[in-house]
Amino acid sequence: MHRIRVANRHYRRSSMERTIGIGLLGAGTVGGTLVRRLIGESDAIAKKTGLLFDVRRIGVRDLGRSRAFEITEGLLTDDPFAVVSDPTVDIVVEVMGGLDPAGDLVLAALDAGKPVISANKELISARGPELIAAAERAGVPFLFEAAVGGGIPIIRPLSETLAGETVTRVLGIVNGTTNYILTKMADEGSTYAAALEEAKELGYAEPDPTADVSGADAAAKAAILASLAFGTWVGFEDVHYEGIEAIAVEDMVFAADFGYTIKLIAVCDRTGSGVSARVHPAMVPVEHPLASIRGPMNAVFIEGPAIGSLLFAGPGAGGDPTATAVLGDVIDAAREMLAGAQVAPRIMMSPGEIVPFEDVRTEWYMHLMVDDQPGVLATIASGFGQAGVSIRSVWQEGVDSQAALIVVTHAALESSQRAALASLEQIPEVLEVAAIIRVLGDES
C-alpha cells in the first residue's frame, strides 16, 4: 500500500519543495482543462498555496486522441488501474464519469490510502456511503466539490459552513442544459425542439441529451444536495424525477400571465416525517431568486430557521469552472497530506427516513381542454374535493365550443393530486389534460 504521510514538523521546511504527484482518470472536458492548468498555472498555484503539483499519469480510453496539453512519454495509459497503482501518484482525480469502471477505480485508490477527488455525481449518488466509508477506513479525504453546480462552491458550504444550521429546504437549478432550453422558450417563444437544437449547436446539450432533459442528471445532484443538507443518505433511487420534454410554449405564456416562470427544479425538503428529494418542472414565482437564473447558469437556494435564505449562483458546467472546483479539492487534499493531520473536510451522513414522493405535499397547475358546458367546473371541483384537493384558482379561455381551463390547486399530498387527476377520466366533458406542472410555493 502506497501511503504518503509527512510529519507536521517537516511541513514548514518542505512545503515549497515537496511535489505532489497527481494521477487523473480521464482527460476530457474537465480532466483536460485541469491538466492544462496544473501545468500552465503551476507557478501561480505554488505562490498562492505553497504547493507544487506534477501530473504523473493519466488514464484515457483513446490514446490517439488529440489533447489540450503536451503529452510526454508514458503520461497517458489506456489502463486506468495503472494510474491508481502508480507509486508516484499521491492523489487520484476521477473525471472519467459513469459508474464502471469509475467506482472500482475510486475504491481501489481509497483502499490504497490515496485521497480521491471526483466530479462524478452519477457515481456519488449511487455509491456515496460505500466510498465515504472506504475513505474513512483509509483515513484519507474523498472530495467532490465539482459534482454539483460545477464551479459553484456548494458542497463545502453545505457540509461545513452550514453544519450548525438545521437546513429545512434546498432548491436548485442544477442542470444548465434544461435551464438554457426553458429560458429560450420563455424569452423567445421557441418550441422545446427548436430550443434543444440550438442548445446542441452552442454546446450546452450533448448529442444525446437524454440524461439532461429527462431530469436524471439533476436527480443525481438532488440526491447529493439532500444528503449533505440533511445529513441523511438520499440515493439516486430515492429521488422522483420528471423531465422537461412535455413543456409547451403555451404553458410558458400562461405561466407568465400568472406571474410565474417554468424551471426544472430540484426540491429537497426536511419535514417532521423525514427527508425527500424530487426533480420536476415547476412554476416559480417571478419574484423568487431562482426565477432570475437564466440560460445555462445554475443556482442553489438554501433555507434554514437561523440563516433565513442563501443563494449560490454561477456556472454549473464547463471545463474551466469545473476544473477550478476540482483544483480546490486537490489543494485541500495536498495540504492534508503535507500537514499529516486531518485538514480537508469529511462528509458525514447516516441512514434516515425517506418520505416517498406520493406522501410529499405539492401544488398543481393543470391545463385542461373541456367542452364548454354549464356545470363542468362544479363537476371537476367535486371530484377534486372527494380526492382531498381544494382548488385555489380557476381561469377559463373559450376556444369555440371548447375552453382551456387552468386550475391551480392548494397544496395536497401528491397521491391526492393524482386521485383528483384520475377523477377527471370520469368526466366526458374533459377532453384532454394538456399539461400538469407543479407550483413552487409553501407546500407545508
Ligand X SMILES: NC(=O)c1ccc[n+]([C@@H]2O[C@H](COP(=O)([O-])OP(=O)(O)OC[C@H]3O[C@@H](n4cnc5c(N)ncnc54)[C@H](OP(=O)(O)O)[C@@H]3O)[C@@H](O)[C@H]2O)c1
The residue from 21, 23, 31, 103 that contacts ligand X (CB under 6 A) is 31
Instruction: Identify whether the C-beta of residue 381 lies closer than 8 Å to the C-beta of residue 391.
Output: yes
Residue 334 grid coordinates: 495536498
- In sign, the C-alpha dihedral spanning 313, 315, 317, 321 is negative
Instruction: Identify whether the C-beta of residue 154 lies closer than 8 Å to the C-beta of residue 147.
Output: no
318/383 with CB nearer ligand X: 318
Asked if 417 interacts with ligand X (CB under 6 A), we say no
Q: In sequence order, what E strands does 222-294 have?
A: 240-241, 260-271, 274-285
Q: Which of residues 261-320 bind ligand X (CB under 6 A)?
A: 317-318
Q: Which stretch binds ligand X (CB under 6 A): 94-102, 180-188, 235-243, 350-358?
A: 94-102
Asked if 105 interacts with ligand X (CB under 6 A), we say no
179/362 with CB nearer ligand X: 179
Q: Please measure the distance between the N-terminal and C-terminal CA atoms of the chain and give it in whole angstroms.
A: 52
- Count residues contacting ligand X (CB under 6 A)? 24
What Å distances lie between residue 169 and 139, 222, 260, 272, CA to CA?
Answer: 31, 11, 20, 13
- Report how far Cα 424 is from the mean position of its chain's Cα atoms: 35
CA distance 435 to 429: 17
Residue 77: which of 142, 22, 25 has the closest Cα?
Answer: 25
Asked if 338 interacts with ligand X (CB under 6 A), we say no
105/370 with CB nearer ligand X: 105
Least separation in angstroms between residue 9's CB and ligand X is 38
92/435 with CB nearer ligand X: 92
Least separation in angstroms between residue 30's CB and ligand X is 4
Q: Between 64 and 83, how does the x/- string for binding to ligand X read (CB under 6 A)?
A: -x--------------x---
Instruction: Identify whether the C-beta of residue 371 lies closer than 8 Å to the C-beta of residue 429.
Output: yes
Asked if 409 interacts with ligand X (CB under 6 A), we say no
- Report how far Cα 106 is from the mean position of its chain's Cα atoms: 20
CA distance 296 to 105: 31
Catalytic residues: 221
Q: Which of residues 143-202 bind ligand X (CB under 6 A)?
A: 146, 150
Least separation in angstroms between residue 317's CB and ligand X is 3
Asked if 23 interacts with ligand X (CB under 6 A), we say no
Give the interface with ligand X as residue ranges (CB under 6 A): 26-31, 59-62, 65, 80, 95-97, 101, 119-121, 146, 150, 317-318, 322
